């Protein structure tokens, strides 16, 4: 078995050096390829942001998930990548592998999918449908792959690579609710998780199953923010991706972090694991010059999405989290990696 993690795997086998592609003519229209939330293609007078995300039963969702919620989430995670590029969603493609035709399931799935698509005026433009093995050990899993396209003015896409030392670090919404729901669904109350009341369970399950892509905020941040990424793998993991691409570091203040209400009452270590390293939040993490604070707050008000300043971008190439006393917080994990 190899010890390659998810991102080493992509870098080693799918990110080709330009020398390997000498046989192709240069492709000036491909403005941004592997390494960001979206690829960006120049297309006539505008640009297209393109992203694809795969959800696999048993890995990304429980087999008994509400199919309406699954339809919502399958599109939401893609719209979240478009949001991180500041793009306006336009259309999407849906590839499905199903072990059986269950019409009640399909009706609920498609209704969840189209409710979110309609909200963002994003049109289903094609896809592919196939049967997955229905019996035996190889039965299923249900697999949903969506590719979404968004439009953006040429040269205005947000990317992970534009953070500058001295920038403020901001995050939208709140963190940690989805990870808490996941842990609670997997294990229930344990030594490390205190019992949740029914309101906390409902609120955190909603965060896990029906994330709200920050599409309006992403568009409002164009030309105001420097760099952006959506938080899908965990705040520290995604901040790490942003810092690596921008060749900078960051200091995050734990005290400033907007945490899900459902985390109140949980042990501090649990709160830190969920809010700093928990995945599935689909908030926007972005950097902006300190002079843009009023502009950022105005953009957030226009997008009706709360934003919080949680730290600064540094020269150090290191991501550091400080507690209330200014001491470093060390966590065993930084976020989700499929192969770590």
Interaction site with ligand ADP (CB under 6 A)? 10, 14, 34-37, 53, 81, 232, 241
Minimum distance of Mg ion from residue 185's CB (angstroms): 23
Minimum distance of ligand ADP from residue 36's CB (angstroms): 5
| Residue 11: contacted member of Mg ion, ligand ADP, none (CB under 5 to 8 Å, by partner type) | none
The residue behind tokens 């294990």 is 187
Minimum distance of ligand ADP from residue 212's CB (angstroms): 17
C-alpha–C-alpha distance, residues 331 and 239, integer Å:
14
C-alpha–C-alpha distance, residues 173 and 35, integer Å:
25
Residues of this chain, 28-67, that bind Mg ion according to CB under 5 A:
37
Which tokens belong to 295? 């502009």
The residue behind tokens 């209400």 is 261
C-alpha–C-alpha distance, residues 82 and 2, integer Å:
32
Q: Is 82 exposed, middle or buried (0-12, 13-18, 19+ CB in 10 A)?
A: buried
Minimum distance of Mg ion from residue 228's CB (angstroms): 10
| Residue 259: contacted member of ligand ADP, Mg ion, none (CB under 5 to 8 Å, by partner type) | none
Minimum distance of ligand ADP from residue 34's CB (angstroms): 4
| Residue 36: contacted member of ligand ADP, Mg ion, none (CB under 5 to 8 Å, by partner type) | ligand ADP
Minimum distance of ligand ADP from residue 80's CB (angstroms): 8
Minimum distance of Mg ion from residue 194's CB (angstroms): 31
Alpha carbon 225 to chain centroid, angstroms: 18
Q: Which of 66, 81, 168, 281 binds Mg ion (CB under 5 A)?
A: 81
280 interacts with Mg ion by CB under 5 A: no
- Cβ closer to ligand ADP: 186 or 338? 338
H or E element: which one contains 197? none
- Cβ closer to Mg ion: 184 or 336? 336
C-alpha–C-alpha distance, residues 270 and 262, integer Å:
12
- Cβ closer to ligand ADP: 27 or 298? 27
- Cβ closer to ligand ADP: 176 or 335? 335
- Cβ closer to ligand ADP: 174 or 280? 280
In sequence order, the β-bridge partners of residue 312 are: 168, 251
- Cβ closer to ligand ADP: 7 or 254? 7
C-alpha–C-alpha distance, residues 3 and 118, integer Å:
42
Nearest to 200 by CA among 189, 192, 191, 212: 189
Nearest to 311 by CA among 222, 249, 260, 227: 249
| Ramachandran class of 81: left when φ > 0, alpha when ψ lies in -120 to 50, beta otherwise | alpha
Q: Which of 53, 167, 230, 233 binds Mg ion (CB under 5 A)?
A: 230
| Residues of the shown chain interacting with Mg ion in the complex, contacts defined by CB under 5 A | 37, 81, 230
């Amino acid at each position: 078995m190899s010890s390659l993690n998810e991102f080493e795997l992509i870098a080693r086998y799918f990110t080709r050096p330009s020398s390997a592609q000498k046989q192709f003519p240069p492709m000036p229209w491909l403005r941004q390829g592997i390494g960001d939330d979206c690829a960006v293609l120049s297309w006539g007078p505008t640009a297209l942001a393109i992203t694809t995300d795969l959800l696999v039963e048993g890995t990304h969702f429980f087999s008994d998930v509400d199919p309406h919620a699954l339809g919502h989430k399958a599109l939401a995670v893609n719209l979240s990548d478009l949001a991180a590029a500041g793009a306006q969603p336009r259309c999407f493609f849906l590839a499905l592998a199903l072990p059986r035709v269950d019409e009640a399931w399909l009706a609920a799935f498609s209704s969840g999918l189209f409710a979110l698509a309609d909200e963002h005026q994003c049109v289903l433009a094609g896809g592919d449908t196939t049967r997955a093995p229905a019996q035996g050990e190889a039965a299923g899993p249900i697999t949903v792959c969506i590719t979404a396209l968004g439009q953006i003015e040429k040269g205005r896409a947000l990317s992970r690579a534009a953070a500058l030392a001295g920038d403020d670090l901001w995050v939208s919404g709140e963190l940690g609710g989805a990870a808490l729901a996941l842990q609670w669904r997997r294990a229930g109350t344990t030594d490390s998780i205190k019992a949740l009341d029914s309101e906390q369970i409902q609120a955190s399950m909603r965060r896990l199953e029906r994330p709200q892509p920050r599409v309006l905020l992403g568009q409002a941040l164009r030309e105001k923010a420097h760099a952006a990424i959506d938080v899908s793998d965990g705040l520290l993991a995604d901040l790490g991706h942003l810092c690596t691409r921008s060749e900078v570091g960051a200091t995050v203040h734990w005290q400033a972090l907007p945490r899900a209400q459902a985390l109140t009452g949980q042990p501090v270590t649990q709160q830190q694991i969920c809010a700093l390293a928990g995945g599935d939040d689909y908030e926007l993490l972005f950097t902006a010059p300190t002079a843009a604070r009023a502009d950022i707050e105005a953009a957030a008000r226009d997008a009706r999405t709360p934003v919080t300043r949680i730290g600064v971008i540094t020269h150090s190439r290191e991501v550091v989290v400080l507690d209330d006393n200014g001491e470093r917080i060390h966590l065993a994990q930084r976020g989700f990696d499929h192969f770590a």
